[in-house]
Amino acid sequence: MIKEFSTFGSCASRGIFNSTINNNYKKYFHINYSVEASSLISLMSKPVLNKENLIDTNNQYFNTCVTDDITKKFIKFLKEDKIDYLVLDTYFDVICSVINIDKNQFITNTSSLRKTTFYQELLEYPEINITNNFDEFFQLYTKYCNKFFKFIKNNCNNLKIILNCSRSVYKYSNNGKIFENPNFKKFSYVNDYRNSLDEYILNNFDVELLPFNNNTLYDENYIFGAHHTHYESKYFHEKTEQLNDIIRRNEILKWDDKLNKDYRKNLRKYITLDWKNTKLKNNQFNTKFPETFYKYITARIDIKNEGSPDNYIKILKNSDVESDIMHPNWYKNELGIGTQIHSRKGTINLKIKCINEGTLKVILRGIDVKNENNERIPIYINYTDFNVNKMNIIKKTVTSSHDNPIIFKKNVKNSEILDIFVRWIPF
């Protein structure tokens, strides 16, 4: 039985269902009303009414995309619950800003919108984008992403979401040789931000996944022109096979079957991460990512030998030579002198010596980040391993933040030496 599909995102998703690009798709799938060039933030906010007459570019496709974005008609369509699968990608969430027209009212600032008469009415309104203000945008995105999945849960009993983890590429093939396009290479930064949004969805919602092959090439002769998300036909054939695998599995196993749930969960390891790598190379994070992400991968380790004002710990060995080691004033009192360590490496091995008898306290948490109102923003870290003298302190991955730390205590003797090993990944 042919399954009903829709897409919300970019050409990387919609192109799967274009017979000129992927000539066999109609054997397996039927494509319904879909939306391109729109942000999830925009979709889940209030519609803009009575402005369709101002959507007046010379291109009907551009007009359709902008009209869909401002009217939010796709929500009404989804509520009809006529489709089996929605393929979703996050490209336009990161490549475009959103314009904040009113409370709970946003539209996507695409190049198509900027060609319309309506755009002239929008120049006074503020914009928010992920590159200039990651924290503000990410908070906004998670709010409306949560709203979207709650809407799906409450209104679409038959619908399953498939996250398409497509990425921007800059390599192409010509006569069997691989070349790079420097104009497209500059868009690689987009992938860092898409990782953060995709990871949020994968960590918080039960979705299917279309992983991305890093060897994917873009097509210089693509029907709609060369672009860093216009791939060779091989990509679309792979997606057809992957979608058929999803359909077959869901026909054999119920959605809430444990085997099916475990399968979806295990697929997540195939997502390739640039700024936070769950498949750690040499137990280290790739350090080539924007500094704005540092706080999201930084483990904070507080260590104190409590007993008397003269109690402290001496670090004999530290595998992370780039870690920040501090002794803040607030951590010095009648119980001793505390040590605070910040590390972004993903793992750290410490050999410490306890000076004077006392109670050793080791605390694992996220770093302390506050907004402009001096309110703490929770930064979560997943601690996967925590060993003291090769004894496992945690049995499974534990999510920790500044205010919800992992705490270990041990009575120690003067000059007692301990080995501490910690491994973590971002939340």
To the nearest 10 degrees (0 to 180), the angle between helices 189-204 and 134-155 is 40
Tell which residue, 73, 49, 65, has the closest CA to residue 112: 65
User: Integer distance in angstroms from the first to the last C-alpha of the chain?
Assistant: 39
Whether residue 389 sits in one domain with residue 259 = no
Within-domain flag for 176: yes
Q: Which helix (H) or strand (E) holds 244?
A: helix 233-252
Whether residue 94 sits in one domain with residue 33 = yes
- Asked if 413 and 354 touch (Cβ cutoff 8 Å), the reply is yes
Instruction: Count structural domains, the chain.
Output: 2
Domain boundary among 226, 241, 270: 270
Mean pLDDT, rounded, for 4-28 = 96
3-state SS, residue 35? strand
Provide the H-helix boundaries in 253-314.
258-267, 294-297
Whether residue 266 sits in one domain with residue 295 = no
Neighbours of 134 (CB within 10 A): 19
Q: Pick the residue with more confidence: 280 or 143?
A: 143
- Asked if 274 and 192 touch (Cβ cutoff 8 Å), the reply is yes
Q: How far is CA 378 from the centre of its chain?
A: 16
Domain boundary among 270, 305, 334: 270
Tell which residue, 323, 350, 208, has the closest CA to residue 271: 208
> What digits encode the pLDDT tens for the residues 325-369?
999 999 999 999 999 999 988 899 999 999 999 999 999 999 998
Within-domain flag for 340: yes
Whether residue 155 sits in one domain with residue 94 = yes
Whether residue 318 sits in one domain with residue 234 = no
Within-domain flag for 162: yes
The tally of CA atoms less than 13 A away on the side-chain side of residue 386 is 26
3-state SS, residue 182? helix
Distant-in-sequence, close-in-space partners of 116: CB < 8 Å, separation ≥ 6 = 54, 55, 56, 57, 63, 66
Residue type, 110: T
> What digits encode the pLDDT tens for the residues 32-77?
999 999 999 999 999 999 999 999 999 999 999 999 999 999 999 9
Give the pLDDT of residue 270.
54
Most confident of the ranges 144-158, 197-211, 394-408: 144-158
pLDDT of 27 above 70: yes
Whether residue 298 sits in one domain with residue 259 = no
Give the pLDDT of residue 283.
36
Distance (Å, whole) CA 270 – CA 258: 20
Give the pLDDT of residue 293.
61
- Asked if 81 and 157 touch (Cβ cutoff 8 Å), the reply is yes
The enclosing domain of 196 has a CATH number of 3.40.50.1110
pLDDT of 85 above 60: yes
Per cent of the chain over pLDDT 90 is 75
- Asked if 427 and 406 touch (Cβ cutoff 8 Å), the reply is no
Mean pLDDT, rounded, for 81-95 = 97
Q: Write out the residue range of the structural domain in which residue 80 sits.
A: 3-270
Per cent of the chain over pLDDT 70 is 93
Within-domain flag for 297: yes
pLDDT of 116 above 90: yes
